Amino acid sequence: MNIELRFFASVREALGVSQEKVSLPAHVVTVGDVRAFLRERGGKWAEVLAEGKSLRMAYDQQMTDAATPIREGGEVAFFPPVTGG
Amino acid sequence: MTIRVQTEDFDLSHEVAALRAGSPQVGAVVTFIGTVRDINDGSTVAEMELEHYPGMTEKALQDIVEQAKSRWNIYDALVIHRVGPLLPKDQIVLVAVTSAHRGEAFDACEFIIDYLKTQAPFWKKEQTPQGARWVDARSTDDEALAKWAQPDG
């Protein structure tokens, strides 16, 4: 399955990437799985996306949680808690 | 209902006039403007950069305003949020709500800004004498949100 990744604010800066297309192995089927899959890259990825980090996730541009299933062509985003207004 | 995400400044009088135009049923207009402070968490702020998630930002703001419309008897609502570089004293955000009577407009306006601060994908980065830093989310913003929770969830 192929999806689009988006990173914003401090997460984008720490990872050094804002957008990326990625091909996922068959066992990666939820937003939480994507986070775990990316952690396997090690280094900054393991650190920034670690469990317990105050991180927000969105799927197809809607705030979501780890259990949300993903589909071909979907968009998964990771970012810190928002600070607008 | 109007949502705008823009780098340009906005003019309150102009926006309120546009919101009220052709609506003689309006008896109350409540507005909130958020502005850049020159000090935050003990540091002087020289400049600020506002980042957002294009596409999601507009959807999140639409969703927040629709929730407000379903909870209160309001006529119309406007949200303008600026992005890009901003200086102390600059305007950041405008929320304006019209209704027949003030109570509904006050509540809906406060609800919209409280939700925006915790749900809309904007992030502030400040330039301070100690260097650039991302602004941390505030627990008081979550507490402000909690007061709008409904018993039925």
- pLDDT, tens digit, 9 for 90 and up, residues B114-150: 999 999 999 999 999 989 999 998 888 988 899 999 8
Judge whether A37 lies within some domain: yes
Residue A68, pLDDT > 70, answer: yes
Q: Residues near A19 by Cβ (< 8 Å), separated by ≥ 6?
A: A4, A5, A6, A7
Judge whether A85 lies within some domain: no
Count interface pairs A-B at CB distance under 8 A: 72
Domain around B109 = 2-135
Name the residue facing A9 among B81, B120, B134 (closest C-beta): B134
The C-alpha of B43 sits at a distance from chain A's nearest C-alpha, in angstroms, of 17
Cross-chain Cβ contact A85/B92 below 8 Å? yes
The C-alpha of A49 sits at a distance from chain B's nearest C-alpha, in angstroms, of 17
Domain count, chain A: 1
Q: Which residue has the higher pLDDT, A6 or A52?
A: A6
> φ and ψ at A78, to 5 degrees?
-125, 135
> φ and ψ at B72, to 5 degrees?
-125, 155
Judge whether A56 lies within some domain: yes
In chain B, which residues have pLDDT < 50? none
User: What pLDDT is stored for residue B142 in this prediction?
Assistant: 87
* Interface membership of A77 toward B (CB under 8 Å): yes
* Interface membership of A74 toward B (CB under 8 Å): no
Judge whether B145 lies within some domain: no
Q: At what angle do helices B102-119 and B56-71 cross, to 10 degrees?
A: 150
Name the residue facing B134 among A62, A63, A80 (closest C-beta): A80
User: What pLDDT is stored for residue A7 in this prediction?
Assistant: 98
CA–CA separation, A29 and A19 (whole Å) = 20
CATH number for the domain spanning B9: value is 3.90.1170.40
Contact list in B for residue A80 (CB cut-off 8 A) is 123, 134, 137
Domain around A51 = 2-79
- Read off the pLDDT of residues A31-59 as tens digits, 9 standing for 90 and up: 999 999 999 999 999 999 999 999 999 99
Judge whether B141 lies within some domain: no
Of B4, B48, B51, B140, which to mutate for an interface test with A (greatest number of A Cβ within 10 Å)?
A: B51
Cβ burial of B10 (10 Å; 0-12, 13-18, 19+) is middle
The C-alpha of B118 sits at a distance from chain A's nearest C-alpha, in angstroms, of 6
Judge whether B9 lies within some domain: yes
User: What pLDDT is stored for residue B152 in this prediction?
Assistant: 65
